[in-house]
Amino acid sequence: MASNNQDLPEATVQNVLEQDTLKWVFVGGKGGVGKTTCSSILGILLSQFRSSVLIISTDPAHNLSDAFQQRFTKSPTLVNGFSNLYAMEIDPTVEKEDSISSDGMDDFLSDLANAIPGIDEAMSFAEMLKLVQTMDYSVIVFDTAPTGHTLRLLQFPSTLEKGLAKVMSLKSRFGGMLSQMTRLLGVDEEFGEAAILGKLEGMKDIIEEVNRQFKDPDLTTFVCVCIPEFLSLYETERLVQELAKFEIDTHNIIINQVIFDEEVVESKLLKARMRMQQKYLDQFYMLYDDFNITKLPLLPQEVCGVEALKEFSHHFVTPYQPSLARGSVEELQNRVAALKLQLKDAETELERVQKGKQKI
């Protein structure tokens, strides 16, 4: 089966690696397409170009530890075998509880957070970004949660804006009630409404600064990961549209789990799958003709552990080439040898079944 997009130039992620101004690299897409593997490998490749790299997993179902086969926590940890690659896993829903202090102000903020959808995640994310900005990493790779969560993460500045407006409206409507409430909670005057509003304002300032950086194509890019199937194509299109709406630069798409037409693909099921994939690959190339599209081969095993990740990483910088061209003498010899082996196995099986029938 000839590939319809073979004339198109094969792209790699080299442009991301060489853009030395980049500070934030987001990796996102539908669940189960290989985002964590791609984030891990991008981190490994960037560590060859940059002084220090941090990979942050914001997906509640953390797979970063599984990918590297090393335990990561909410504090940056050096990845085994590297001197400048760090990883951490944060959970927005848990992070909020960890930051609660005994002064009672955070208890009130916590209650307030429940009244404003998404503000708990926004504040947690702001805290995490504040932490990250105090550390001096050359580039930060985000292994994001599936698409819906990622888009929420990008909406955090407006979520905090709404939260702040809500608090201000409460203040104007109820006058000194906030002070009374904070006193009821056993909070001193200096931890009253001014402190609460100050804390929210501080969060907003951090988020707004980060949001400004996110919208700067010199500092931020978003790498979309997908597989050549209808739902993934649809989700990628939605993601690209939303990123454009948020003014976030994206010009790289990684298409994972591609079955290449090579060697001895004789299975009817695999051939059907390849035809289906080709249809969606053609659509990807048509829709995103100005993107860098990197195709990764489907492997017979999972990519786990530093060595496996390093080995697979060369497909990110060198377009994958099937080891044997369909129709070449060597490929035909391989197919004949495989068919002879299949015939031999079938004859052995037939002989065994016939002997069994004779015994009965």
Looking at the annotation, which residues are catalytic? 59
Helix intervals (H) in the chain: 14-18, 35-46, 64-68, 92-98, 105-115, 119-134, 147-154, 156-174, 177-184, 193-214, 230-245, 268-287, 306-312, 314-317, 329-359
Is 303 annotated as belonging to a binding site?
A: no
Is 23 annotated as belonging to a binding site?
A: no
d(CA 86, CA 75): 9
Is 159 annotated as belonging to a binding site?
A: no
- Comparing CA positions, the residue from 278, 232, 238 lying closest to residue 258 is 278
Is 229 annotated as belonging to a binding site?
A: yes
Is 256 annotated as belonging to a binding site?
A: yes
Is 32 annotated as belonging to a binding site?
A: yes
Contact 14, 45 (CB under 8 A): no
Is 36 annotated as belonging to a binding site?
A: yes
Is 176 annotated as belonging to a binding site?
A: no
What are all long-range contacts of 295-300, with beta carbons under 8 Å and residues at least 24 apart?
Answer: 295/10, 295/255, 295/258, 295/319, 295/320, 296/34, 296/254, 296/255, 296/256, 296/257, 296/258, 296/320, 297/258, 297/259, 297/260, 298/256, 298/257, 298/258, 298/259
DSSP symbol at 191 = G
Is 34 annotated as belonging to a binding site?
A: yes
Burial class (CB in 10 A: 0-12, 13-18, 19+), 245: exposed
Is 220 annotated as belonging to a binding site?
A: no
Q: Give the residue numbers of the binding site for ATP.
A: 30-37, 229, 256
Q: Give the residue numbers of the binding site.
A: 30-37, 229, 256
